[in-house]
Chain A
Amino acid sequence: MSTLKPEINDKDHIQGDDSASVTIVEFGDYQCPYCGDAYPIMKEIEETFGHQIKFVFRHFPLANAHQYAFPAAIAAEAAALQGKFWEMHDALYENQYRLNAELFDELAETIGLDLEQFQKDSTSEEIKSIIEDNFDSGIRSGVNGTPSFYVNGAKFDGGAADLYQMLKESTE
């Protein structure tokens, strides 16, 4: 059974209660249509199970297959430097159908980022290496495609809908 490596740490983007009993990690790609399909289901999971859930997102861009996957991950990390990772994360998935090189600045403005700073940060090597570290963590953890989910550190064999079902059954 594959497990999450490294474990969740302070470099991660974490949403939800610290005391939550279930931690879900998603390895995702902003251009992957299956991740796009998983996005609303993850929202529903967070809504339905509320405080019981902690959600972590790590980048796993398939850069050869998806030309905007890496730039989109950069946009999310650049937004994170202004404290708005999740706002950009949501905006990217909600606008996945029109993903292109011009979209990032537009979304940055929509979510209220300092655009000049955002553009500057988008070129930073540090951000690039965060994403590469995320990808590395995915490889080490046995990610075999996107999205891949981990529940309390163990690889979950299924998609977001299966995850919802599993949580529903285990909390009933």
Chain B
Amino acid sequence: MLEKGAIAPDFELNATPDQKIKLKDFKGKNVILAFYPADWSPVCSDQMALYNEMLKYFSKYDAQIFGISVDSVWCHLAFEESRKLHFPLLADFEPKGAVSKAYGVYDEKVGESKRALFVIDKEGKIAWSYLAPVAVNPGADGILDALEELNKK
């Protein structure tokens, strides 16, 4: 797993069937990457639902959050609609898990991303990373602490 200080590998992934997100387009902004195993986990303990409530906190720190899993764009689209998510979910779908692998957070055995968080600074460097046990939703306190730290610089 990539650690603090590493350059965040660039990527280009679909957020919707006809919209691609390039990491390098977000230089000058803090970026949060939340890799997670799969869409459609139980509602109330759902990590993405939590981040959805926190968008104004993230924007306060000039940060954009992306969820990333190996689900397809269509699956993400249905999931976003169902959970009323207001931030992009990226499809690490083809070649499967390539971005997750580049960040060192792909689980080869189950063929899903691990549950991992990265905070990337405005220059594109990893400022903080965290790997959570797959069954445990890591919350958001670590992300906020990392963003706060960046703000102090």
| A residues with CB within 8 A of B | 2, 29, 32-35, 62-65, 135, 139-146
B44 to A142, Cβ gap below 8 A? Answer: no
Interface residue from B45, B46, B53, B83 paired with A63 (Cβ < 8 Å)? B53
Is B81 interfacial (CB 8 A cutoff)? no
A65 to B84, Cβ gap below 8 A? Answer: yes
New A-B pairs, 8, CB < 8 Å, besides A64-B83, A64-B84:
A34-B44, A62-B53, A64-B86, A139-B141, A143-B139, A144-B50, A145-B44, A146-B45
Residues from chain A with a CB closer than 8 A to the CB of B64 are none
Interface residue from A32, A34, A145 paired with B50 (Cβ < 8 Å)? A145
B141 to A140, Cβ gap below 8 A? Answer: yes
| Cα distance, A146 to B50, chains bound together (Å) | 10
Is B43 interfacial (CB 8 A cutoff)? yes
Interface residue from B44, B46, B57, B139 paired with A2 (Cβ < 8 Å)? B139
Q: Which of B47-92 contact A (CB under 8 A)?
A: 47, 49-50, 52-54, 57, 83-86
B45 to A144, Cβ gap below 8 A? Answer: yes
B57 to A145, Cβ gap below 8 A? Answer: no
Interface residue from B52, B86, B140 paired with A139 (Cβ < 8 Å)? B140
Is B14 interfacial (CB 8 A cutoff)? no
Residues from chain A with a CB closer than 8 A to the CB of B46 are 145
A140 to B144, Cβ gap below 8 A? Answer: yes
B49 to A64, Cβ gap below 8 A? Answer: yes
**CB pairs A–B below 8 angstroms (10 shown):** A29-B44, A35-B44, A64-B84, A139-B144, A142-B139, A143-B139, A144-B47, A145-B46, A145-B50, A145-B137
Interface residue from B44, B53, B141, B144 paired with A64 (Cβ < 8 Å)? B53
Kindly name the residue among A2, A33, A35, A145 whose own CB sees the greatest number of chain B CB atoms within 10 A: A145
